């Protein structure tokens, strides 16, 4: 294994793990307010950014060690250098050449900043995990997972936060109701959400000029506008490996590239950029290559979560996608204030939705906005993956009082077509 950086990839070092830790930190401010409605009285809360950074760094260093120890125990030879592909069976790392029957490319992706004047004044999520100090005012640009998560983090930590997105609704590819409602919830939390707004220029200061001519002064601009696969300079094309237009390794259902002996998994390919998906792709590839069990990659009904505030989680088909592939649907929705918020002034609303095939009554998709949505949808995902029907959901006894029980108590269809 050739790895010039820290073990664990994007997720452990500049992705899911530190992001989730930051999301926990950001949510405490609201928790202190909620506690008051339950009779708790505490002093004025104070937040120390450097304490969070130090504790986060310690945990990531621990995880780096765990990964390295696991590799060593498994007998893996570790090359602490960047590898380049020489040919179908040869790589070069640290000035030495190594041959193998199979080569696996799992080099991930890197955040990109649009080519606009002043782009060097902006940061990406990579740098956001090690800022020397929190800004007073921050602009986050983008409408996907990372943008929503960091807008929520900054806002929760007391930063005056603007989220600007060039499109009319956030979270492209998610269910339409979810896309609409998460924008409403972010605004309710205090995020200055600006849709159909795209920065055209940054100037020292930092002054942001938008494409429509409007301006805004902030202390930090963070772009979360996409990631590009790390394939540049790897020697893949010279070795005959076909890359897509965006530089992603083109692979088949078994993660094989255009060269039989070279495979690719994870964010470096044109598939789902999710850590558990990359892990599963590696496991499926191992079965294919070394167990004699050809196992195609299965990207159907993959659950996912956006750790914004509130959380978003989903599994299966959106209503829009389901309507294109199914003759008729039954759609169920629920929106309510969680019990936790009923004693205080919080206006946050939990939203749940089931998309059901009208003929077979199979649940095609489940969607949620609300606290711990990822924890809830993970369990629902098992049912969706197994092809559970709406009557089977209905026959399941709910745990009361929980938000999750709503998924087995929704009875009134909101639409049928």
Q: Which residues are catalytic?
A: 400
With tokens 């237009």, the residue in question is: 245
Q: Of 42, 17, 39, nearest to 28 (Cα)?
A: 42
Task: Please enumerate in sequence order all residues whose Cβ is within 8 A of that of 45, keeping only pairs 6 or more positions apart, or say none.
Answer: 28, 29, 32
Tell me the CA end-to-end span of the chain in Å, nearest whole number. Answer: 53
CA 147 – CA 307 distance, rounded (Å): 10
CB atoms within 10 A of CB 190: 12
With tokens 């782009």, the residue in question is: 119
Cis amide prior to 224 (ω within 30 degrees): no
Whether the Cβ atoms of residue 266 and residue 281 lie closer than 8 Å to each other: yes
Whether the Cβ atoms of residue 255 and residue 269 lie closer than 8 Å to each other: yes
């Amino acid at each position: 294994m050739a790895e010039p950086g820290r073990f664990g990839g994007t997720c452990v070092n500049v992705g899911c793990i530190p992001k989730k830790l930051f999301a926990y930190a950001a949510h405490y401010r609201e928790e202190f307010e909620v506690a008051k409605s339950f009779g708790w009285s505490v002093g004025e809360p104070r937040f120390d950014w450097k304490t969070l950074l130090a504790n986060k760094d310690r945990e990531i260093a621990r995880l780096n060690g765990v990964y390295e120890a696991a590799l060593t125990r498994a007998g893996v030879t570790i090359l602490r250098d960047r590898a380049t592909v020489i040919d179908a069976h040869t790589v070069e790392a640290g000035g030495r050449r190594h041959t193998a029957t199979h080569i696996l490319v799992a080099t991930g992706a890197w955040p990109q900043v649009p080519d606009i004047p002043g782009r060097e004044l902006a940061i990406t999520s990579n740098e956001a995990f090690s800022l020397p100090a929190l800004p007073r005012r921050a602009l986050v640009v983008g409408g996907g997972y990372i943008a929503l998560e960091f807008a929520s983090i900054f806002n929760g930590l007391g930063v005056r936060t603007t989220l600007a997105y060039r499109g009319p609704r956030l979270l492209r590819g998610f269910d339409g109701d979810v896309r609409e409602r998460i924008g409403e919830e972010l605004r309710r939390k205090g995020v200055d959400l600006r849709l159909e707004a795209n920065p055209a220029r940054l100037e020292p200061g930092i002054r942001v000029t938008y494409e429509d001519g409007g301006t805004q002064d902030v202390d930090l601009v963070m772009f979360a506008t996409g990631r590009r696969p790390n394939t540049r300079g790897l020697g893949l094309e010279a070795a005959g490996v076909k890359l897509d237009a965006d530089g992603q390794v083109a692979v088949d259902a078994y993660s094989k590239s255009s060269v039989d002996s070279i495979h690719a998994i994870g964010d470096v390919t044109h598939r789902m950029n999710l850590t558990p998906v990359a892990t599963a792709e590696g496991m499926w590839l191992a079965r294919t290559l070394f167990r004699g069990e050809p196992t195609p990659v299965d990207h159907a009904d993959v659950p996912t979560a956006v750790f914004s505030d509130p959380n978003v989680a989903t599994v299966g088909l959106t209503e829009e996608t389901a309507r294109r592939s199914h003759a008729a649907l039954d759609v169920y929705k629920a929106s309510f204030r969680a019990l936790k918020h009923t004693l205080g002034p919080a206006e946050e609303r939990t939203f749940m939705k089931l998309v059901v095939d009208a003929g077979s009554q199979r649940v095609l998709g489940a969607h949620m906005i609300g606290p711990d949505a990822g924890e809830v949808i993970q369990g629902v995902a098992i049912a969706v993956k197994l092809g559970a029907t709406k009557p089977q959901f209905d026959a399941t006894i709910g745990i009361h009082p929980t938000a999750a029980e709503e998924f087995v108590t929704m009875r009134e269809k909101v639409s049928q077509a």
